[in-house]
Amino acid sequence: MTITQRLRCDQTPAWAALQHRFADTGRKLDLRDAFAADPQRFTEFSQSAPHVFADLSKNLIDAATQQLLFELARECRLQQHRDAMFAGEKINHTEQRAVMHWLLRSPPGAAAKHLATEAQQVHATLDAMLGYAERVRADSAITDVVNIGIGGSDLGPQMAVLALDAFATMGKRIHFVANVDGHELAAVLARVRPESTLFLIASKTFTTIETMTNARSAKQWFENQGGQNIARHFAALTTNVAAANEFGIDTTFGFWDWVGGRYSMWSAIGLPIAIAIGAAGFRDFLAGAHAMDEHFRAAALEQNLPVRLALLDIWYRNFHGFTSRSIAPYHSALRRVPAYLQQLEMESNGKRVDGAGQALPFGTSPVLWGEPGTNGQHAYFQMLHQGTDRVPLEFVAVKKARHELAGHHSQLLANVLAQAQALMVGKADDGGHRHFPGNRPSTFLLLDDLTPASLGALIALQEHRVFVSGALWGINSFDQWGVELGKVLARDIEPRLHSGDASGLDGSTAGLLQRLRSV
């Protein structure tokens, strides 16, 4: 089945039924009444999945609406689309590519026969990459690892290295340089020495201008500082091994065009993670994600956590009209998760046309944003509690702490519970300044412990949830044409900054160009 043959969500009977449901009762649902009426609500609206427990009960939903949403998924043939992804069909139809990041975490021997060649390449590369990671870990002369990459070649590894800091046993300092702004690279270079630094040039395409500029400057710096052995101090993580070789890097770890950039930290792009936590830790990370893949692949829609989360996303975006979702990880090590999820969701589903290229009459990706709890509480939570817009909030909490400091973890957990409670219950106070309207929705994701496996599962959960909403919206979640125009224009503008030529530019760009050139 091609993407164009699937029914788009707004063309289904279930969509019309959901519109009626929203107008009749959905928009008026009050969570306080819903809990009062149903003592089983917590159980009915919670879901266990590998490594993740989800309390969905504080969402603006009831059983009848949820049934219609499952119906919507069935009418859009979600299961068939999911199976097409897992069968390796080219569901990224605008680039004629399969979507198989899940194969990167599939254990040896588990892949379907027709994907045996790809699976064999995956495991050969993984073994080589993990062997290299272990050699780097054992090499006491290497104290610093600098990952140069942007977007999916930065956000995933950076997020995971921070998240798994408690598992980073060899004490290497891992730096991430993404921005073409030279301040970022210069600050890192000022702290490292060529003889003790390993540079990882991470780029799926090996053409991204920011990464190539940073890579060239890093190599130049290395040589200027008397560094000799590029083979020892530079490695490339890329699908474009030929370009890496041409750049002068012979140590390369490859991956394939069926791994999207924002889905790539399970591939060679994950090398910084493997250096941080070791080969066994990285395999646990893959295993956690694989467990979530299996849940997504096999669980009935009604017990399928990625599906349940995505259906809520659709209910909020397309019926309630909510335009954003806030993420609040109550664990400081998860502080880059919001940035990671921004790319995952907004680059995947920030699309305005369906599979056939027709403009969509409904909203797609919400704006994702957030900061770790409790920090966000003392910044923007005011707006979440009392602002004019309702913003669904997604809490992520971790039961176990991996530090010994007395009293901190119970305070942290008390805060996350209290925030979710306060958003829902509110507080009556004459409707004025101290009034909390309540009835503000939230989802609560709970991990027993933050480990490589649970992080892998949490992220795979988010990947599949994005897949489901994209599938129902009928969009291609796996291309990103929207990033191209700015890149092309930047290439045109850069020489003009040197020459001053403003011909053909709009008045604003020309004015700013002149201002930037004036002394």
Which residues contribute to the site for ligand F6P (CB under 6 A)? 150-153, 203-205, 208, 211, 261-262, 347, 480, 483
Minimum distance from residue 207 beta carbon to ligand F6P (Å): 7
CA distance 486 to 335: 28
First to last CA, the chain: 60
* Helical residues (DSSP H) of 167-208, grouped into ranges: 182-189
What does 392-455 look like in DSSP terms, one character per residue?
A: -EEEEEES--SS--TTHHHHHHHHHHHHHHHHHH-B-STTSTT-B-----EEEEEESS--HHHH
CA distance 519 to 512: 13
**Which of 243/417 has CB closer to ligand F6P?**
243
264, two tokens: 């790539």
Rg over alpha carbons for the chain, rounded to the nearest Å, is 24
Minimum distance from residue 215 beta carbon to ligand F6P (Å): 10
Minimum distance from residue 484 beta carbon to ligand F6P (Å): 8
**Which of 151/338 has CB closer to ligand F6P?**
151
Minimum distance from residue 184 beta carbon to ligand F6P (Å): 16
Element (H, E) at 54: strand 52-55
411, two tokens: 């305070």
262, two tokens: 């924002």
Minimum distance from residue 15 beta carbon to ligand F6P (Å): 30
Tell me: cis bond preceding 12? Omega within 30 of 0 counts.
no
In the sheet that holds 144-148, the strands lie side by side as 173-177, 144-148, 197-202, 234-238, 252-254
- Other beta carbons within 10 Å of 25: 12
Minimum distance from residue 200 beta carbon to ligand F6P (Å): 12
Minimum distance from residue 149 beta carbon to ligand F6P (Å): 6
CA distance 78 to 464: 12
User: Which amino acid is it at 407?
Assistant: G
Minimum distance from residue 124 beta carbon to ligand F6P (Å): 21
Cβ contacts of 358 within 8 Å, gap of 6 or more: none
**Which of 262/465 has CB closer to ligand F6P?**
262
**Which of 57/211 has CB closer to ligand F6P?**
211
Minimum distance from residue 14 beta carbon to ligand F6P (Å): 32
356, two tokens: 């056939």
User: Which amino acid is it at 267?
Assistant: S
**Which of 348/419 has CB closer to ligand F6P?**
348
231, two tokens: 């083979």
CA 188, distance to chain mean position in Å, is: 25
Residue pair 465/73 in contact (Cβ under 8 Å)? The answer is no
Cβ contacts of 135 within 8 Å, gap of 6 or more: none
CA distance 279 to 447: 23
**Which of 12/214 has CB closer to ligand F6P?**
214
Vertex 464 angle, CA 458 and 470, to 5°: 140
Minimum distance from residue 237 beta carbon to ligand F6P (Å): 9
CA distance 216 to 209: 10
**Which of 259/458 has CB closer to ligand F6P?**
259
CA 185, distance to chain mean position in Å, is: 24
**Which of 267/318 has CB closer to ligand F6P?**
267
**Which of 151/281 has CB closer to ligand F6P?**
151
Cβ contacts of 518 within 8 Å, gap of 6 or more: none
**Within the chain, what is the greatest distance between any pair of CA atoms?**
74
322-to-305, 367, 389 alpha-carbon distances in Å: 21, 10, 8
The set of catalytic residues is 347, 378, 487
**Which of 157/261 has CB closer to ligand F6P?**
261
